[in-house]
């Protein structure tokens, strides 16, 4: 089969790989139909990512058709169109059964395409462990593109807003307007935010947020601008969706007294200079973490199906898997308005 394989920094190739096989009775094999490139995939693209290894398939967002199931799979059958959760759990422990994959009590928490341990989804075929739990039939009324956005981006944005405790009347700042940040802007309004400030360096991304009703703020001058905009009070809730030290520090400064800062951007810095005194005197609540995708499907599917959330609008480029290397280059360079890159099956 063919897959996008990480070889070295900025060297992802459309390569031959061995086809995945059923390794446990609870596995399924899914033929990829759509796969997304996530902002966190750029950590791998820039090297070394999350593992010192190379030669593995990348990507953790996909929808497709089941082509084989193990003898222990009971909820899925060959031919089912499914969405694959980026968050993988054992599916058996108390935490997983409650939807909290990141709390998996058997050490089964994982993610596709971060290392050879679980090969990625930017491939013709994908092995899904504990398939009854880690994949689900695409719900009626959803397009394949909407389902793809439910495999990671939309749940992560929603999780960030939930952690920020956005509720009716709250003021919100979203820092970083990639696909997840822009979905967070829309989600904040769904949760009742009275005002959302959308902060990014890229004018085109700020314009998208403004079209949703947000107040656009240039990331280069955000700290100076936000003082007058909030009458020096700061905001109630911050969702940081970039993951840089600078943007996390900005989020902490933007939070008002008693404010909550929710970080969902991936940060790999070995040390962050946390402003402890400022946080102490402002009574700041700081939360950071990754999302259990399955936990949020029950609330997000109706919101997408009924048109309250429109994550598919973030898709700007659809390219065949065979052009994956170019898709990564465009996404990294932000060329041509690149926002959400979607790869299609080539065979």
In tens, the pLDDT along 298-334 reads: 999 999 999 999 999 999 999 999 999 999 999 999 9
Which structure tokens are listed for 133? 């739990």
Residues 6+ apart with CB under 8 A from 306: none
The answer to whether residues 254 and 316 belong to one domain is no
The answer to whether residues 165 and 127 belong to one domain is no
The answer to whether residues 130 and 12 belong to one domain is yes
The answer to whether residues 244 and 316 belong to one domain is no
Q: For the whole prediction, is pTM greater than 0.95?
A: yes
The answer to whether residues 130 and 166 belong to one domain is no
- The reported pLDDT for the residue numbered 346 is 80
The answer to whether residues 259 and 307 belong to one domain is no
| Euclidean distance between CA atoms 114 and 117, whole angstroms | 8
In tens, the pLDDT along 250-300 reads: 999 999 999 999 999 999 999 999 999 999 999 999 999 999 999 999 999
Instruction: Flag residues of the chain having pLDDT under 70.
Output: 347
What range does the domain containing 281 cover? 156-288
- Among candidate residues 240, 268, 288, the one where a domain is terminated: 288
Pairing of strands 2-8, 11-16: antiparallel
CATH number at residue 125: 3.90.180.10
- The reported pLDDT for the residue numbered 129 is 98
- Number of domains within the chain: 2
Which structure tokens are listed for 47? 């090297």
């Amino acid at each position: 089969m063919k897959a996008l394989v990480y070889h070295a920094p900025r060297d992802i190739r459309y390569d031959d790989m061995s086809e995945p096989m059923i390794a446990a009775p609870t596995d399924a094999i899914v033929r990829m139909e759509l796969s997304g490139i996530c902002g966190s995939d750029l950590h791998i693209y820039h090297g070394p990512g999350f593992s010192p290894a190379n030669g593995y398939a990348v990507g953790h967002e996909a929808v497709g058709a089941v082509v084989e199931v193990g003898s222990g799979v009971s909820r899925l059958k060959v031919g089912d169109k499914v969405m694959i959760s980026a968050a993988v759990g054992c599916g058996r422990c108390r935490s997983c059964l409650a939807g909290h994959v990141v709390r998996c009590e058997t050490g089964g928490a994982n993610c596709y395409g971060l290392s050879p341990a679980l090969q990625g989804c930017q491939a013709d075929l994908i092995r899904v462990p504990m398939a009854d739990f880690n994949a689900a039939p695409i719900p009626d009324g959803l397009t394949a593109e909407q389902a793809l956005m439910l495999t990671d981006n939309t749940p992560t944005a929603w999780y960030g807003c939930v952690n920020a405790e956005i509720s009716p009347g709250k003021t919100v700042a979203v820092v970083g307007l990639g696909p997840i940040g822009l979905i967070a802007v829309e989600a904040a309004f769904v949760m009742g935010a009275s005002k959302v400030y959308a902060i990014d360096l890229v004018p085109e991304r700020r314009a998208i947020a403004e079209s949703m009703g947000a107040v656009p703020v240039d990331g280069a001058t955000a700290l100076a601008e936000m003082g007058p905009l909030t009458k020096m009070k700061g905001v109630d809730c911050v969702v940081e969706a970039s993951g840089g030290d600078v943007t996390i520090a900005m989020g902490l400064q933007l939070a008002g007294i008693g404010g909550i800062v929710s970080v969902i951007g991936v940060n790999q810095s070995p040390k962050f200079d946390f402003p402890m005194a400022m946080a102490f005197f402002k009574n700041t609540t700081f939360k950071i973490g990754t999302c259990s995708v399955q936990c949020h499907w029950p609330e997000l599917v109706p919101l997408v199906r009924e048109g309250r959330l429109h994550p598919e609008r973030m898709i700007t480029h659809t390219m065949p898997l065979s052009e994956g290397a170019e898709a990564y280059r465009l996404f990294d360079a932000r060329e041509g308005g690149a926002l959400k890159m979607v790869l299609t099956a080539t065979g």
